[in-house]
Amino acid sequence: MAVPDKPFDAAAFDAKVAESNARFQDAIKNEKFTARKPVLRDLANQFKAEAAHLRKKASAGKITKALAAEMKRDINTNFDNAIAKKTE
């Protein structure tokens, strides 16, 4: 993943992104409420955009601790909204 002060591991990052994309797709596929699927798709697309942004910054060596924390918080919020809290 992208960690400040460490070399960017593109393969590890891409593997985590692929795993997360698969989790979003599973959540969309398994969603029982049709009206919720567009919301899940929007969150999945937002995740993809954030991952692409983070990858670009990390590849250029421009990951700061503040950016890493902000992106992690945003991505975790998306997962909470899309996957973890859907069972409530």
pLDDT tens-digit map of 68-82: 778 778 777 877 777
The answer, yes or no, to whether residue 88 has pLDDT greater than 50, is no
The larger pLDDT score, comparing residue 45 to residue 61, is at: 45
Angle between helices 65-82 and 37-59 (to 10 degrees): 160
**pLDDT at residue number 87:** 46
Per-residue model confidence as pLDDT tens digits over 5-43: 667 788 888 898 899 899 889 989 999 999 989 988 998
Cβ contacts of residue 9 below 8 Å, gap of 6+?
Answer: 1
Q: Is 81 helix (H, G, I), strand (E, B) or coil?
A: helix
Q: Is 0.75 surpassed by the pTM of this model? A: no
